[in-house]
Chains A and B, each alone.
Chain A
Amino acid sequence: MDTVVEVSGLEKRFGRVRALDGLDLSVRAGEVHGFLGPNGAGKSTTIRILLGLARASAGTARVFGRDPWSDAVALHRRLGYVPGDVNLWPNLSGGEAIDLISRLRGGTADKTAFRERKQRLIDVFQFDPTKKGRAYSKGNRQKVALIAAFATPADLLILDEPTSGLDPLMEAVFDTEVHRAAAEGTTVLLSSHILSEVEQLCDRVTIIRAGRTAETGTLADLRHLTRTEVSFAVDGVPDAAAPASPDAVAPDARPAAAPGAAPASLQAAAPAPREAAAHRHAGPQSDLRDLAAALPGAHDLAIDAGRAHFTVDSDALPPVLEALARLDVRGLTVAPPSLEELFLRHYGDHPARPDPADRQAPAPTIPPTTDPRP
């Protein structure tokens, strides 16, 4: 079978509220499929329908070619699930909860193999299975569902914002386990609102918004949607228009500053407010024009509080980095855009933000208000 999950024209109404409004989703066998959308877009509602916990108001949903509502039990023998907000039985230990779910899923038929898998996962997730359910933090509750999901081999894993509450180290462990499952042939549907997580793991992505499919395709297809944010200290940049001599820039002399290091360099590089004001009066327009000329592919260029900010299409990043190296910039930060910003840029419906069309061209003036970015 080629398609594991096939959803078309899915609708779900709660009274007068349309949680899903004609959603389409297609997950192919063996792929890791990202299911992206802002909070309240209908990701969890879709997943509840795919699990047969809720019934579609209209449209069709098929998992392994079967109706998830009427064939729930048969389908659930083949899948594992991690909810976004895991709730545990207060008086059961984490280890007991993992065993209970695994036994219900039939994963404990081979006791030795199960015990090994469970122990390995407990080790890699650094999980204490002896605490009572009510005593776990959010991240640790999440680990219970993750360990239970990975401990029993499945044909399909449905993961609903599975890393919420996990620290970065544990997110890395999660990534490894998803790769391991995918290598064993498991199809994965990963819902998330964190773009970088999806970029690291997924072959294909479906983006939903307000209960409808907004985009779907491979990450390469969606490259045009992702734009990286770059900022650096303006102060100390030599005559922007004059290209620095190539031999003056050693490739490893000034790597992109780690985000944690940025504030220190910002303080060092940012001029005092009065000086900054003077700097602006000296001719920000010409500075901007010069910078724009030196940075091919930079969008939304602006200077604020002594720092230049711009965005760049993710696939056009290398030439910009080269240009930045030639400029010998300090306090450089490079950050992927959050999904919310992505949505604002492409489907902008946020009244407080400028019209997205205006943001395509380099900003002609310095934004008058403080920029929320670091």
Chain B
Amino acid sequence: MNADALALLPALLRQRLRRDRWQLAFWILGTALLALFAAVAVADSYADETERNQILALAISSPAILILRGLPQGGGLDAFVFFEIFTYLALLAALMSTFLAVRHSRGEEESGRAELIASTPAARSLPTVATLVHGVLANLVLGAAVFAGLALGGMAVDGSLVTGAATAAVGIAFVAVGLLAAQFLRTSRGANGLSVALVGTAFLLRGIGDALGTPTGPLELQSAWPSWLSPIGWAQHTGAYTSNTLVPLLLDLALAAVCVTVVFVLQAHRDSGASLVAERRGRTDAAAALSGSFGLAWRLQRGAIVAWAAGGAAFGLLAGTLASLVEQAASQDAAVADSLQSVAGAGGSMTETLIAALFSFVGVLAAACATQAVIRLRQEESAGTAELLLSTPLSRVRWLVDYLALGVAAIAIVLVVAAAAATAGLLSAGEDVSLVGQSFATAAAQLPAALSYLGLLALLFVLMPKATVAVGWAFVAFGVVVGNFGGLLGLPDGVRDLSPFTHTPVVSAAEPDWGGGAWLMGVAVVAGAASVVLMRHRELNTA
């Protein structure tokens, strides 16, 4: 690469910034706000150190909880916030980074735009350099924003700086991981799937490492070796607000350097558009199932549905095994049992409460799966494949109804798989059979919220097709933040009521309130029916 070509770098960078400005603003602001709200809310809810110590004692006594939090570093307020929120900040940075990397590498190659750029003096490698620089810059801004959020939330400045740096380092490592994944697979969908799986593995490895950790002092743990296999684990070892060391972040940067080197070596040896994993050949004739738009919808989404269901199974299994572990801990230690009961609130056992809490995430997965079904409909329309379908004796209404039917089926699959996994976890731990019914009831309680997502987005697809994709995912993110984290973030009830997930019936409560579920079902049915009626009058909108 010579200096002439390098002079083109600013142009390529500007193009990336311009394309991503809203998307990155959304990620960065969202992550920073999560940090800010967490700091404020924790300071508000757990101002008393004995309360924080109670929670930490509970977590250490049933280590599986640590998988969903972090590594306890004592009962100090700032360290407690880091324990509660850092792994999620790292998770968001990692996802933002892999999506960014794949979007500007494999995504461009798949669409053919990369070829257009590669035919200029920028050639094949400069765009990758630009993507790398763009990703690093985005993560530096993200790190600064996280620092600002925490510092504004009243946290110590030095620890907040370390947290910001740790978040950025995780992100930079995953920019490189995303670029590497893009070298292997032919499609951006595949590269994104592989990247998300790697991010999930990194999160899980550090979770297992934390769960198997050994106590080093009161309410302090040292994580086990699996945590040292994870870029998120390395970042946790900075011990922000306690030991405040940046040295482990060198591991993140070293990983990034290794991945980037491999990326450039691979790219120098492969054709533009080619991939290391070759594409399989397809069938000559279609299977019998592929004979209508329902069959097509299933065929196009089965991979994604399996992935969402696998996520549901993971949460279900976690709920099943965690529940029995917690009960064991409570039966051995009266103090733990007390704090458990205070967390669980009145009515319902701790086990039931835990199942309910974990299944609220299963509900989110089901809603995301439903959202994807409608987004697929819009993608068919904008890509032009819908035009081929609708030139056959397939009516617009039937087309919509088939995709909605698939959405309902996908929701059911995710929920049933999660409930079955929870059952397996409970039974293997020798739990009472009555809890099996409980886990299925809890899964069923997630149905209304997921269906309301399906119906409302279908209506949006009919009325404002161009907004479907952006609003669809934004609505899921909004629902999660406001509904599932609304309590942690201390949002007022009026705001929390805007999320469908807030109205999901809590089966573990002494007297479950099914009214919210009925309302959600009503919304889902009315919106779904309206979308079907209005679809009759809608033109195909390929723009």
| Residues in chain A within 8 A of chain B (CB atoms) | 48, 51-55, 72-74, 76-77, 79, 81, 83, 85-96, 99-101, 103-106, 129-132, 134-135, 145, 158
Residues in A with CB closer than 8 Å to B300 are 89, 91
Contact assessment for A129 and B284 in the assembled complex, using a CB-CB cutoff below 8 Å: yes
A48 to B388, CA, bound (A): 11
Q: Answer whether residue B452 sits at the interface, using C-beta atoms and an 8 A cutoff.
A: no
Q: Within the complex, what minimum Cβ distance (angstroms) separates B219 from chain A?
A: 51
Contact assessment for A100 and B290 in the assembled complex, using a CB-CB cutoff below 8 Å: yes
Which of B187, B296, B539 lies in contact with A134, CB distance below 8 A? B187
A93 to B186, CA, bound (A): 15
Q: Answer whether residue B387 sits at the interface, using C-beta atoms and an 8 A cutoff.
A: yes
Q: Within the complex, what minimum Cβ distance (angstroms) separates B57 from chain A?
A: 51
A132 to B385, CA, bound (A): 14
Contact assessment for B282 and A81 in the assembled complex, using a CB-CB cutoff below 8 Å: no
A72 to B537, CA, bound (A): 12
Contact assessment for A105 and B286 in the assembled complex, using a CB-CB cutoff below 8 Å: no
A134 to B190, CA, bound (A): 13
16 residue pairs A–B, Cβ–Cβ below 8 Å: A48-B540, A51-B391, A53-B540, A73-B393, A73-B394, A76-B392, A83-B391, A86-B384, A94-B282, A96-B283, A96-B287, A104-B393, A130-B281, A130-B282, A132-B282, A134-B187
Contact assessment for B286 and A90 in the assembled complex, using a CB-CB cutoff below 8 Å: no
Residues in A with CB closer than 8 Å to B77 are none
Q: Answer whether residue B76 sits at the interface, using C-beta atoms and an 8 A cutoff.
A: no
Contacts A73-B393, A104-B389 known; A135 to B283 CB distance under 8 Å?
no
Which of B280, B299, B394 lies in contact with A92, CB distance below 8 A? B299
Q: Within the complex, what minimum Cβ distance (angstroms) separates B132 from chain A?
A: 26
Q: Within the complex, what minimum Cβ distance (angstroms) separates A249 from chain B?
A: 50
Q: Within the complex, what minimum Cβ distance (angstroms) separates A20 from chain B?
A: 14
Contact assessment for A105 and B392 in the assembled complex, using a CB-CB cutoff below 8 Å: yes
Contact assessment for B393 and A105 in the assembled complex, using a CB-CB cutoff below 8 Å: yes
Q: Answer whether residue B247 sits at the interface, using C-beta atoms and an 8 A cutoff.
A: no
The main secondary structure of chain B at its interface with chain A is: loop
Q: Answer whether residue B285 sits at the interface, using C-beta atoms and an 8 A cutoff.
A: yes
A106 to B279, CA, bound (A): 31
B279, B284, B295, B539: residue with the most chain A Cβ atoms closer than 10 Å: B284
Contact assessment for A100 and B286 in the assembled complex, using a CB-CB cutoff below 8 Å: yes
Q: Within the complex, what minimum Cβ distance (angstroms) separates B285 from chain A?
A: 6
Which of A55, A83, A131 lies in contact with B539, CB distance below 8 A? A55
B287, B389, B393: residue with the most chain A Cβ atoms closer than 10 Å: B393
Nearest B residue to A76 by beta-carbon distance? B393
Contact assessment for A81 and B391 in the assembled complex, using a CB-CB cutoff below 8 Å: yes
CB contacts under 8 Å to A, within B280-309, are: 280-287, 290-293, 295-296, 299-300
CB contacts under 8 Å to A, within B155-181, are: none
Q: Within the complex, what minimum Cβ distance (angstroms) separates B294 from chain A?
A: 12
Contact assessment for B279 and A135 in the assembled complex, using a CB-CB cutoff below 8 Å: yes
Which of B279, B291, B387, B395 lies in contact with A100, CB distance below 8 A? B291
Residues in A with CB closer than 8 Å to B534 are none
Contact assessment for A131 and B388 in the assembled complex, using a CB-CB cutoff below 8 Å: no
Q: Answer whether residue B220 sits at the interface, using C-beta atoms and an 8 A cutoff.
A: no
Which of A53, A79, A86 lies in contact with B390, CB distance below 8 A? A53
Mark contacts of B380-422 with chain A using CB atoms, 8 A cut-off: 1 yes-contact digit, 0 otherwise: 0001110111111111100000000000000000000000000
Contact assessment for B387 and A99 in the assembled complex, using a CB-CB cutoff below 8 Å: no
A92 to B383, CA, bound (A): 14
A55 to B284, CA, bound (A): 37
Contact assessment for A95 and B388 in the assembled complex, using a CB-CB cutoff below 8 Å: no
A53 to B390, CA, bound (A): 7
Q: Within the complex, what minimum Cβ distance (angstroms) separates B343 from chain A?
A: 46
Known: A95-B282, A95-B284, A103-B286. 17 other contacts (CB 8 A): A51-B391, A53-B539, A72-B390, A72-B396, A73-B393, A85-B384, A89-B296, A89-B300, A89-B385, A92-B290, A101-B388, A101-B392, A104-B393, A129-B282, A130-B283, A131-B281, A132-B279
Contact assessment for A93 and B393 in the assembled complex, using a CB-CB cutoff below 8 Å: no
A96 to B285, CA, bound (A): 5
Contact assessment for B391 and A53 in the assembled complex, using a CB-CB cutoff below 8 Å: yes
A100 to B110, CA, bound (A): 24
Q: Within the complex, what minimum Cβ distance (angstroms) separates A27 from chain B?
A: 17
Contact assessment for B392 and A104 in the assembled complex, using a CB-CB cutoff below 8 Å: yes
The 9 closest A-B pairs by CB, nearest first: A93-B282, A99-B286, A87-B384, A104-B392, A81-B391, A96-B286, A76-B393, A103-B291, A53-B540
Contact assessment for A93 and B284 in the assembled complex, using a CB-CB cutoff below 8 Å: yes
Nearest A residue to B384 by beta-carbon distance? A87
Contact assessment for B285 and A99 in the assembled complex, using a CB-CB cutoff below 8 Å: yes
Q: Within the complex, what minimum Cβ distance (angstroms) separates A139 from chain B?
A: 15
A54 to B542, CA, bound (A): 11
Contact assessment for B285 and A95 in the assembled complex, using a CB-CB cutoff below 8 Å: yes
Nearest A residue to B543 by beta-carbon distance? A14
Q: Within the complex, what minimum Cβ distance (angstroms) separates A253 from chain B?
A: 47
Residues in A with CB closer than 8 Å to B392 are 76, 101, 104-105
A77 to B187, CA, bound (A): 35
Which of B283, B292, B539 lies in contact with A104, CB distance below 8 A? B292
A135 to B281, CA, bound (A): 10
A101 to B296, CA, bound (A): 11
Nearest B residue to A108 by beta-carbon distance? B291
Nearest A residue to B286 by beta-carbon distance? A99
A79 to B388, CA, bound (A): 12
A91 to B303, CA, bound (A): 11
Which of A73, A91, A134 lies in contact with B395, CB distance below 8 A? A73
A89 to B295, CA, bound (A): 13
Contacts A100-B290, A103-B292 known; A131 to B391 CB distance under 8 Å?
no
Q: Within the complex, what minimum Cβ distance (angstroms) separates A95 from chain B?
A: 4
Q: Within the complex, what minimum Cβ distance (angstroms) separates B273 from chain A?
A: 10
Nearest B residue to A144 by beta-carbon distance? B388
Contact assessment for B387 and A53 in the assembled complex, using a CB-CB cutoff below 8 Å: yes
Contacts A53-B390, A72-B395, A104-B393 known; A92 to B282 CB distance under 8 Å?
yes
Which of A54, A73, A100, A158 lies in contact with B540, CB distance below 8 A? A54
Residues in A with CB closer than 8 Å to B388 are 81, 83, 86-87, 101, 145
Q: Within the complex, what minimum Cβ distance (angstroms) separates A128 from chain B?
A: 9
Residues in A with CB closer than 8 Å to B283 are 93, 95-96, 130
A51 to B396, CA, bound (A): 12
A87, A132, A145: residue with the most chain B Cβ atoms closer than 10 Å: A87
